[in-house]
Amino acid sequence: MKQHNFGAGPCILPQQVLEATSKAVMNFNGLSVLEISHRTKDWESVMDECRSLWKELLNIPDGYQVLFLAGGASTQFMTVPYNLLEKKAAYLDTGVWASKAAKEAVLFGETVIVASSKDKNYSYIPKGWTIPSDADYFHITTNNTIYGTEIREDFDSPVNLVADMSSDIMTRKVDVAKYAMIYGGAQKNVGPAGVTFVIVREDILGKVSRLLPSMVDYRLHIKNDSMYNTPPVISIFVMKEMLKWIKEVGGIEKMEELAKQRAEILYNEIDRNPIFTGTTDHADRSYMNICFVMNEGHKDKEAAFMEFAKSRGMVGLKGHRSVGGFRASCYNALPVESVQELVKCMQEFEKNEK
Ligand SMILES: *Cc1c(COP(=O)(O)O)cnc(C)c1O
């Protein structure tokens, strides 16, 4: 039976990407891609291609560097304040990832939470806040993977804007020039676990007075083309193949169109179907992680629906424990047909309930 992978991460990858990777694992110019030195021309060309695909697809302006690091987005929670926090940092608290990021900043200096939606279990994006103009940077999480809310606007910030885009990078056009830094784990929309992308405007670096250990110093990674130490070779290879696929399919514009299409199909059904309900404010609904629960009067059927959906090939639908219910993660490689099949499940389950 065909499986429909709604997993929240690591994510579904296109067949073409898996095939190209399998091939390179078996034979990459004579050896396995897993066996070659990263100090070879063959590998350097993979790095170069990956970097230029990032720049091309996201239209990254001059003055920015693209790094491929290890340690996951969670390591960046610490690396950002290490490099940027001199006196004061500001954070928008839109979920557990955002608050984990802020928690690390506290270790380095004064950390201000500009606004939080914790009062309603992060079911909306706070509005009406102001960014302190004396902060070294303002940190946001553009897509809140656990709760299903998203900021899809690139707003103006009076201070350096830093964004964790782990779960919505390459799913919409981004005006990179509005950000001082964008980072994230690759494993939600642009590849497998193991590699973290960092897009950083070079002129913001070198301004803090503390001394930086080598591995957290962005300037050192820039100087060494992300190969100060052994890079996560296979993860970068898969990411490069994923970016090639995005380009072939039609680039970011196409990814954005597909994301919108998938989200509309599913939210329309959630709103129409009397046994389901969404968990977030309509205005802040994520295109990536679509969270829903069963309505009052049907709550006891959640396990039954999960089983039913599973029997139809739906994988990874279980909501995060802090929200409950269901979460359909609709990342770049998820075919629109998978969402249509999920909608069919919801409609059939509704019929059986009557
Ligand atoms: C998954 C996720 C993270 C954590 O990424 P790791 O690479 O596992 O450290 C951070 N932020 C957001 C928004 C995420 O979705």
Check whether 226 has a pLDDT greater than 80. Answer: yes
Instruction: Verify whether ligand 1 is closer than 6 Å to residue 145 (CB atom).
Output: yes
Q: Which among 251, 191, 267, 197 has a CA at the least distance from the CA of 12?
A: 191
DSSP state string for 50-84:
HHHHHHHHHTPPTTEEEEEESSHHHHHHHHHHHHH
Q: Which atom of ligand 1 is nearest to the CA of 196?
A: 7
**pLDDT tens by residue, 164-173:** 999 999 999 9
**pLDDT tens by residue, 288-314:** 999 999 999 999 999 999 999 999 999
User: What's the CA-to-centroid distance between 184 and ligand 1, angstroms?
Assistant: 7
The single-letter DSSP state of residue 263 is H
Instruction: Tell me the domains of the chain and their CATH numbers.
Output: 15-249 (3.40.640.10), 251-353 (3.90.1150.10)
**pLDDT for res 342:** 98
Check whether 177 has a pLDDT greater than 80. Answer: yes
Taking CA atoms only, the protein residue closest to ligand 1 atom 12 is 166
**pLDDT tens by residue, 10-53:** 999 999 999 999 999 999 999 999 999 999 999 999 999 999 99
Average pLDDT over residues 259-275: 98
Q: Which atom of ligand 1 is nearest to the CA of 144?
A: 13
Q: At what angle do helices 15-26 and 233-249 cross, to 10 degrees?
A: 140
| Confidence grade of residue 1 (pLDDT, cut at 50, 70, 90) | confident
Average pLDDT over residues 325-353: 97
pTM check: above 0.85: yes
Give the percent of the chain with pLDDT over 90: 98
Taking CA atoms only, the protein residue closest to ligand 1 atom 2 is 166
| Confidence grade of residue 354 (pLDDT, cut at 50, 70, 90) | confident
**pLDDT for res 186:** 98
Q: Which atom of ligand 1 is nearest to the CA of 76?
A: 9
Instruction: Verify whether ligand 1 is closer than 6 Å to residue 168 (CB atom).
Output: no
Q: Is 198:166 a contact under the CB 8 Å cutoff?
A: no
DSSP state string for 139-190:
EEESEETTTTEE-------SSEEEEE-TTTTTSS---GGG-SEEEEETTTTT
Cα separation, 83 vs 38, in Å, equals 27
**pLDDT tens by residue, 147-166:** 999 999 999 999 999 999 99
**pLDDT for res 268:** 98
Check whether 108 has a pLDDT greater than 90. Answer: yes
- What is the average pLDDT score of the chain? 97
Cα separation, 132 vs 323, in Å, equals 31
Cα separation, 128 vs 197, in Å, equals 30
Q: Which among 135, 90, 133 has a CA at the least distance from the CA of 112?
A: 90
Check whether 251 has a pLDDT greater than 80. Answer: yes
Check whether 224 has a pLDDT greater than 90. Answer: yes
To test the ligand 1 pocket, which listed residue (11, 103, 142, 166) has its Cβ within 8 A of the most ligand atoms?
166
User: What's the CA-to-centroid distance between 298 and ligand 1, angstroms?
Assistant: 32
Q: Residue 192: what residue type?
A: P
Catalytic residues: 97, 164, 188
**pLDDT for res 291:** 98
Check whether 339 has a pLDDT greater than 90. Answer: yes
Average pLDDT over residues 337-353: 96
Cα separation, 328 vs 333, in Å, equals 13
φ/ψ of residue 120, rounded to 5: -120, 45
Cα separation, 163 vs 231, in Å, equals 23
Instruction: Verify whether ligand 1 is closer than 6 Å to residue 167 (CB atom).
Output: yes
**pLDDT for res 353:** 85
| Confidence grade of residue 351 (pLDDT, cut at 50, 70, 90) | very high
User: What's the CA-to-centroid distance between 52 and ligand 1, angstroms?
Assistant: 24
Instruction: Verify whether ligand 1 is closer than 6 Å to residue 141 (CB atom).
Output: yes
Token reading at 44: 């350097």
User: What's the CA-to-centroid distance between 188 and ligand 1, angstroms?
Assistant: 8
Average pLDDT over residues 132-138: 98
User: What's the CA-to-centroid distance between 177 and ligand 1, angstroms?
Assistant: 23
